[in-house]
Amino acid sequence: MSSPTKASGAAGSAPAPDDRRAVACYVYGIVPEDVEISADAVGVGDPPGRIQLVRHGEVAALVSDVNVDRPLGRAQDLVAHELLLDEAAAEVPVLPLRFGAVLTTPEAVVEELLAPHHDQFAAALKEIDGRAQFVLKARYAERPVLTEVLNESQEARRLRDRIRSLPEDATRNERIRLGEVITQVIAAKREADTQAVVDRFGDCTVAATVREPSHERDAAHIAFLVENERQADFEEAIEELRDDWGDRVEVRMLGPMAPYDFVVT
């Protein structure tokens, strides 16, 4: 799949449809009007729809035809949606719609989306120009974090010792309580470690958004907005974090991607 790239000539308009009784416009996101789309750029659908632009003033919508009788929201649609936007964001500023929007016609895209919000979209595109989103996902290794919980919680140690000394069917309540204690201690660790990461990365990022945990052992789940020219510094900070946390925490970094966590469309 190809991404939009900066255009050197005048911008055109999406070709007028010849028959839209069975199709509508699926909108992926908003880009500056002076971009052009590669002929092989495609999005959702089976077969995948060809990406087009609907322009209005200084902004444009990335769209493709979608069959109105076909249900959307399948896994392959979400993947195609995100892939198109992430590849586009590597080349130009993009305001992504997280799940896409479906409007009846290109004219409706202008009248209901681009025209009413033109100035806000144009300002937001200028604000994110030259920036990309990265997501840090950090997860505690199971054995080290359980060792930390037992070292830090007297109640956890007491419950563990009682469970060890009695038959399993006699310690149901203790096992439930131990699970609650472990969850509480890990939650406190997560809060502290997440804030430490946000503070640590403050010098090499523009903004940070803390995401909800996606796993019970998450240590941090944070989206960062990073200047393109500071990406190397950001990646170096990630490696330093990995070194400092060692085997205690597994650190993954996703991106660059469209700035889902930093725009509202």
- Which stretches does DSSP call E strand in the chain? 5-6, 23-32, 35-36, 52-56, 59-67, 95-103, 131-140, 207-210, 218-227, 249-257
> What CATH number belongs to 133-262?
3.30.70
- 263 vs 232, more confident: 232
pLDDT digits (tens, 9 = 90+) for 14-59: 444 444 458 899 999 999 999 988 888 999 988 899 999 999 999 9
Output the CA torsion 62→66→71→77 (10° steps): -40
DSSP state of 40: T
pLDDT digits (tens, 9 = 90+) for 73-122: 788 999 999 999 999 998 899 999 988 889 999 999 999 999 999 999 99
pLDDT digits (tens, 9 = 90+) for 161-172: 999 988 888 899
Does residue 106 contact residue 63 with C-beta atoms inside 8 Å? yes
Does residue 265 contact residue 96 with C-beta atoms inside 8 Å? yes
Integer Cα distance of 79 and 185 in angstroms: 35
Q: The pTM is what? A: 0.82
Structure confidence at residue 264 (pLDDT): 62
pLDDT digits (tens, 9 = 90+) for 189-240: 999 999 999 999 999 999 999 999 999 999 999 999 999 999 999 999 999 9
